[in-house]
Amino acid sequence: MAYGNLGFLYGYYLKQPDKAETAYLTAIGNDPTLEYLQIQLFELYRDVFNDGARARAFARERIEKSPDFALDFTQLIVDLDRAER
C-alpha cells in the first residue's frame, strides 16, 4: 500500500511519472490482488503520461493475467475509447 501511495504522490503532486510508474509496479508486484493499484496505474498512463495506447496495453495485460479483473478493465478500455472519439 505504501508504494501505491508513493506512486500517487510522484505522479500527481511531484510530477515525476517515471518514479510513479516504478512505485506502482512495485506495489502491484508486492500484492497483485489489489485491483485498485492496477487501476491507478492505468489512470497514470491515461492521465499523466497521456498515453491511451499504453493504458490499453496495460489493461489488456491485466485482463490476461487477472481474469477476475476482466470486467473492470474492459470497461476502462471502453471508456477510454469513448473519450478519445
How confident is the model over 9-62, as pLDDT tens digits? 999 999 999 999 999 999 999 999 999 999 999 999 999 999 999 999 999 999
User: Do 49 and 42 touch, CB atoms closer than 8 A?
Assistant: no
* Domains parsed from the chain with CATH numbers: 2-84 (1.25.40)
Half-sphere exposure of 1 (CA within 13 A, CB side): 0
Question: What's the pLDDT at 39?
Answer: 96
Model confidence, pTM: 0.92
Kindly state the cell numbers that stand for 8.
500517487
How sure is the predictor about 1, in pLDDT bands with cuts at 50, 70 and 90?
A: confident
